[in-house]
Structure 1
């Protein structure tokens, strides 16, 4: 099988590529390197420096003739989506539409789409399952959900097979140390530098942190399971941001108190996704414990710091 991975030079995408190649699949990576890193692309993958909104995308499909698409490329900064909603929509909505058109034109067997917990908005329950109402609080949440609807229409009209994976908060190696979504590596970096981490809000807000290796495993599993399903990729375990800082202090044998900042526009107070359906449909479950994942991330950040300082 030949799989085209968009965003395959990025944080999550590069881990998916590594896992696909470990399973002896052929991999095509499409990434404009706006946030991805060329050195993160596995040497066995074929790489195209291309934007998903570009007409050149169709030429890649024509030349490579992939069997499946795993779509990870996206604008993922919630704050940026509020300040520049047009750019957010162009990348996340128009970019996905371009991929869907190419996928139908070239008879793709499976289309796997990376969606987000942000589509749910303010939770009505402590554990959010896939039937929870869709009420995004940010432009990012809107731009991640809208392609889900397009995918459904393309499936009905053209028979496109798909799996939609709604991610909880993903963390781990290769994540940027600063910026949206990188709360864990960002906190680790600041605390290793003896600088207080900044918490936006009172720190009692909760998140479901899932390691990138488990997210990669879910994507690979979806190549052969979960047809026409919408599935949460999560641990189903909530952790407050205050408890995260306390845990990092304990694991790094330091004592640094956070600095509290005003809550940010578009941020969700609590988010914990129910993964029962995903476990059943994909025969998948998280393998990386929070303790192990945090240890790996601390090690990764320390290595990055030593490379920068050398």
Structure 2
């Protein structure tokens, strides 16, 4: 298939690109490199350095004629959304609408959209399933949820097929610890630098961590399954931040010695996403335990850190 991946130089989407190419698809990457890295770009993919809001987007779609678009280009940081809500909305909402318009105008068959657990807000129950109410706490959660309505409307009005994947807390190789980094990449960076990891709150808050390779497998499944559906992509297990850091210290052979600070605005206390629907309709389920995923991640960064030294 001819596939366009937006944000394909970023953490998650670059892994998706690699798998698509390994599976024999023709892959095109659209990324403005604001957070993506050229080192993540697979040389077998066609790369276009452009923004999803660029005027030239129509010409790019005309040249590529993708059958499927996997949309990961986004502003992904909760704290940035709180400080710059206009920027957050422009990229995540208007940017997705721009992609949808090109999908309609150029005969794209299907859109796969990377959404987030942030759309749910404070859980009313655990595990959170796709029928849970949507009350996002942050502007980021709002800006990831709003495009879901546009996607559904474009599908109803113009026949565009779609699959929406709501990710739990994704971690793994290529995640950048700076700026928009997730807690795992931030912790491993601190541990390798022999610095004290920082925990916001008391560390008893829980998250549902999912390894990036399992995210890739969900996107591969969505190429042919999950038509017009919304699915949680998660490990479906709660882990406290303290437990996470303790395990990482064990794997990195580093003493456990965190620094605690006040909780951050927009952060929920507990999260676990029910992945039953994804198992049933996508034929997908996670295969990596937290220990297995963290082991690969820590080994990767330790090797890279050793080379840098």
- Separation in structure 1 between the aligned mates of residue 39 and residue 251 of structure 2, nearest angstrom: 30
Partners of 1:154 and 1:160 within 8 A in 2:
yes
- 1:140 matched residue in structure 2: 140
CA deviation vs aligned residue, 1:106-127 (integer Å, no higher than 9, x gap): 1111100000000000001120
Give the CA deviation at 1:181. Answer: 4.3
Tell me the equivalent position of 1:6: 6
CA distance in 2, matches of 1:40, 1:23: 18
- Residue 289 of structure 2 aligns with which residue? 289
Question: Are the aligned partners of 1:170 and 1:181 in contact in 2 as well (CA < 8 Å)?
Answer: no
Which residue matches 1:245?
245
Q: Aligned Cα RMSD in Å?
A: 1.0
- Counterpart contact for 1:62–1:106, Cα < 8 Å: yes
* CA-CA distance at 1:177 after TM superposition: 1.9
C-alpha contact 1:234 1:274 (8 A) present in aligned 2: yes
**Aligned match of 1:119:** 119
Unaligned runs of at least 5 residues, structure 2: none
1:196-249 superposed Cα distances (whole Å, 9 cap, x missing partner): 210111101000110111101111110100000000000101100011111112
Counterpart secondary structure, 1:24:
coil
Moved more, 246-255 or 161-170: 246-255
Q: Does 1:22 align with 2:22?
A: yes
**Counterpart of 2:159?**
159
Number of the residue aligned with 1:304: 304
Provide Cα deviations, 1:8-38, integer angstroms capped at 9, x if missing partner.
Answer: 0000010000010111000010000001011
Distance 1:262 1:191 in 2: 21
SS in 2 for 1:170: strand
- How many matched pairs? 309
Moved more, 137-146 or 291-300: 291-300
Q: Trace 1:94-109 onto structure 2 (pairs within 5 A).
A: 94-109=94-109
Q: Give the Cα separation in 1 of the matches to 2:178 and 2:18.
A: 24
Q: Which residue number corresponds to residue 39 of structure 1? A: 39
Instruction: State the Cα deviation string for residues 131-178 of structure 1 (Å, max 9, x = none).
Output: 100000000000000000110111111111000000000000000023
When structure 1 is superposed on structure 2, of 188-197 and 220-229 the one drifting more is 188-197
Which moved further from structure 2: 299-308 or 244-253? Answer: 299-308
TM value normalised by structure 2: 0.98
Which residue does the alignment assign to 2:183? 183
Show the counterpart of 1:270: 270
Deviation at 1:308, TM superposition (A): 3.3
TM-score, structure 1 as length reference: 0.98
